[in-house]
Structure 1
Amino acid sequence: MGFNSAKKQKRAPRGGIVAALDVGSTKVCCFIARVEDAGSVRILGIGHQIATGVRTGAIVDMEAAETCIGAAVHQAEQQAGDTIREVIVNMSGGFPVSHSFNAEVSVPGPEVTEHDVHRALNHARSLQVAPDSRIVHAIPVGFALDGNRGIRDPKGMYGERLGVNVHVITASAGAVRNLQIGAARCHLEIDSMVVSPYASGLACLVEDEMELGAACIDMGGGTTTISVFCEGNLVWTDCIPVGGSHVTNDIARGLTTPVAHAERMKTLHGSAMATAADEREMIDVPQVGEEERGTSNSVPKSFLVRIIQPRLEEIFELVRQRLEQSGHAKLVGRRVVLTGGACQLPNTRELAQLILDKQVRLGRPLRIAGLNETHGGPAYSTAAGLLLHAVRNPNELPVSGHEAAASSGILGRVSLWLRENL
């Protein structure tokens, strides 16, 4: 998009170091990287811990979350040989919601100026959101002049009424605050928050997909998130509170086996769709509460697949339903990118194609140097996208903690008007 917002590129000054913290339902991951020429990044250190105290992307136990965040950051710092103070962190909990706000202002002069653009943007941003929500992103996605839409950069053009469409993403105030507290307890300051589906899309979509219109589906442990990009901008996001952990729990319940064994069986033998050979292959299933190994049951692999497939079908049905309800299904066309740790089961892409009726490819982080095969997989798309958000400096309106708190309601609108006009 041609318009460059007033947001300043505020990044860690020491040698162009940026750090990303991905707080997920199943893992907490920290990437430390150096910004190189042409806006690319090279990984210096990676820290990775099994998540504790986090459920469906939101912190539910502060002590446990602090421990695993601190351990992941320390591990990355040791590998990078550097200490970090600021992080870009993802927001996957807090029920992020997309809003589309339109605003229109008069153009007093003969042509549209930078000041007119900022007046329109501020007016759109000051529109009311729920009082218990916080603004995480405010992204201008299009301008209009005298009703003519589809204008990317109105500056220098003639018109009497300037309109703007701003995509605003809000999240629960409590979830945002808990994430800030969790980071602060680890002596970290949050430089910016990025909703997980936005980060995943930045990491996995190629430029043409972002421009022509595509959806990115990130299948995490506790949540599945959806982002839709068009004309280079994020235009819609959604979050479904179902993910890979639910598949694991289904296996544990269905086969009465411990959760750790259920996860192992899913990883080693799981599949999203059945094949003819599944009836012949037998799997040992240790039973809950049985100490001796000899007491495990044997079941055909087909039994395991019959537990996994319905849950994955449910996830893709919900994704299809949400996309259709959003009104953005036509923008996506047939282009869908599937990423996240839970998409790595064999035949998941084929099942997604069947249910979504779209072309689906598996996405992994792009444009990041220094990632090994393990950390360059779909499970690390969000963490990689956080780094890319830092260096790409996407076209967004600044959202500080104060504005996020004040922009909902009449006081926010008045304060913005005073700052704009006095």
Structure 2
Amino acid sequence: MTSHTKRPQGSVIAAIDIGSAKTACFIAHVTDDNGGAEVIGIGHVASKGVKSGVIVDIKATQQSVKQAVHAAETMAAKIMKGYPLREVVMSVPSNYTYSNRLSATVKIMGHAISDKDIDLALLRLEQEEQSDSEAIIHSIPISYSADGHGGVENPVGLHAESLKVDVHCVKAETAALKNILGCADHSHLDVDCLCIAPYAAGLSSLVEDEKDMGCLVIDMGAGVTSYAVFYQGAMIHAGAIPVGGAHVTSDLAMGLNTGLQDAERIKTLYGSCASAMSDSNEMIDIPAMGDGAEATQVPRSTLVNIIRPRMEEIFELIRGDIDVNNVDGYAGGRVILTGGACQLPGVRDLAGLMLNKQVRIGKPLMLSGLADTTKAPEFAATAGLIHYACERMDEQPRMGDRGASDPIWPRVKAWFKENW
């Protein structure tokens, strides 16, 4: 694969991840010419106005973003020394997005292939795929062919008559992007780029061998479970299902006849996907709803019987989606779980059983400055946004090179500034 374009040393970038359960903000500065970064500010708050990955109350969501950004800026104040935070990278929930494998061909006329030829192929593809209702978020080259001969890892410098580029193209609904831009603008921030959550989670939690040999990243959020397939160093497919950890909490609240907050606490303290010999004898106190109602007790095995079917459903849906899109073979035999919902005891073993693969829990890697509390699976996507913004600038949509009309993403930003 061709090398990636890095963000210049000394740059400051913020990452904002708006999830169904929490909104997180990391501020980082680029420490070297290879895209290495150090986190200098961290902020996270409970999300408001978001259900199942969908913004349902824009003002409440804007307030959550503002609070998270303010907390991160306060932590980074001494290092930034009054430097205003402007550029941010934001996550896009995968239930707003569509993943397609496309190809573009350009004439080379016998000269040596250059980076400009690859850029031209990608630009033409983006121009063909753009529409008023969808915007391109990622255009990732995944393979090359020179004069019909495949298997080319890096075409730059090769002489050929034509070059074909196979591209993983990820689009998002334009209306959803306008809502995300609105959350950033409310905090006086400019969105530099966007990245889907499972791709970001993979960038922060995978080692190079996993990216090259093939693996499946499953980001288990509160409202959405999304996934990305990596192969030969690139993300080749992504998808999502509208089920997550919050649905487990809802199941417990209904099954135990208790409130959502109490159900979440019970899930955190006593929940599991795996049964144990002592579960039938261990009794759990269940708070009642409403005044005058009496608290009850249930065996811990009841919790397992409620939680496990929902978690099985999540992995069954993921497995079915992967099979339909014919990417299971590329995913190899390895799964990396990220997101807060993957920390439920027994999830790793259940995923291995349902998907017939080796499974590990993924955490942010190779990003300095993280506090111990943020070196956890639920912050993998936020950390990955920093990696994406610093290390993979070339995967962002082209900005109308060679006099061509701008792709839809720059036009979305222009529309927002004119109409918000």
Task: Confirm or deny a common fold (TM above 0.5).
Answer: yes
Deviation at 1:126, TM superposition (A): 2.5
Cα distance in 2, alignment partners of residues 139 and 356 from structure 1:
26
**Match of 1:162?**
163
**Match of 2:15?**
20
Deviation at 1:145, TM superposition (A): 1.3
Deviation at 1:341, TM superposition (A): 0.3
1:180-219 alignment to 2 at 5 Å? Answer: 180-219=181-220
- What SS does the corresponding residue of 1:52 show, helix, strand or coil? coil
- What SS does the corresponding residue of 2:223 show, helix, strand or coil? coil
Unaligned runs of 5+ in 1: 409-422
Q: Does residue 56 of structure 2 align to residue 52 of structure 1?
A: no
Letter in 2 for 1:36: T
Cα distance in 1, alignment partners of residues 383 and 61 from structure 2:
21
Q: Is 1:58–1:93's contact at 8 Å kept on the other side of the alignment?
A: no
- What SS does the corresponding residue of 2:313 show, helix, strand or coil? helix
Per-residue Cα deviation, 1:139-184 (whole angstroms, up to 9, x for no partner): 1111101221121222332332211111110111111110001110
Q: Is 1:112–1:159's contact at 8 Å kept on the other side of the alignment?
A: yes
Q: Is 2:109–2:160's contact at 8 Å kept on the other side of the alignment?
A: no
**Match of 1:2?**
2
Cα distance in 2, alignment partners of residues 379 and 346 from structure 1:
15
**Match of 2:28?**
33
- What SS does the corresponding residue of 1:290 show, helix, strand or coil? coil
Q: Is 2:89–2:193's contact at 8 Å kept on the other side of the alignment?
A: yes
Q: CA 1:115/1:393 → structure 2, altered by over 3 Å: closer, same or farther?
A: closer
Q: CA 1:291/1:191 → structure 2, altered by over 3 Å: closer, same or farther?
A: farther
**Match of 2:286?**
285
Q: Is 2:220–2:244's contact at 8 Å kept on the other side of the alignment?
A: yes
Per-residue Cα deviation, 1:245-271 (whole angstroms, up to 9, x for no partner): 000010011111010000000000000
**Match of 1:420?**
none
**Match of 2:418?**
none
Identical-residue share of aligned pairs (%): 40
Cα distance in 1, alignment partners of residues 94 and 202 from structure 2:
17
Cα distance in 2, alignment partners of residues 42 and 146 from structure 1:
43
Q: CA 1:132/1:398 → structure 2, altered by over 3 Å: closer, same or farther?
A: closer
Deviation at 1:35, TM superposition (A): 2.2
CA RMSD in angstroms comes to: 2.1
Cα distance in 1, alignment partners of residues 396 and 383 from structure 2:
22
Q: CA 1:156/1:16 → structure 2, altered by over 3 Å: closer, same or farther?
A: closer
Q: Is 1:94–1:176's contact at 8 Å kept on the other side of the alignment?
A: no
Letter in 2 for 1:309: R
**Match of 1:109?**
110
Deviation at 1:118, TM superposition (A): 3.3
Q: Does residue 231 of structure 2 align to residue 230 of structure 1?
A: yes
Q: Is 2:215–2:330's contact at 8 Å kept on the other side of the alignment?
A: yes
Q: CA 1:216/1:394 → structure 2, altered by over 3 Å: closer, same or farther?
A: farther
Q: CA 1:136/1:392 → structure 2, altered by over 3 Å: closer, same or farther?
A: same
- What SS does the corresponding residue of 1:309 show, helix, strand or coil? helix
Per-residue Cα deviation, 1:350-404 (whole angstroms, up to 9, x for no partner): 0000000000011100011122321110010011001111221254253459512
Q: Is 1:349–1:361's contact at 8 Å kept on the other side of the alignment?
A: yes
Number of residues of Structure 1 aligned to a counterpart in Structure 2: 401
**Match of 2:70?**
74
Deviation at 1:93, TM superposition (A): 5.0
Unaligned runs of 5+ in 2: 401-405, 413-420
**Match of 1:404?**
408
Please report the TM-score for the alignment, with normalisation by the length of structure 1: 0.90
- What SS does the corresponding residue of 1:368 show, helix, strand or coil? coil
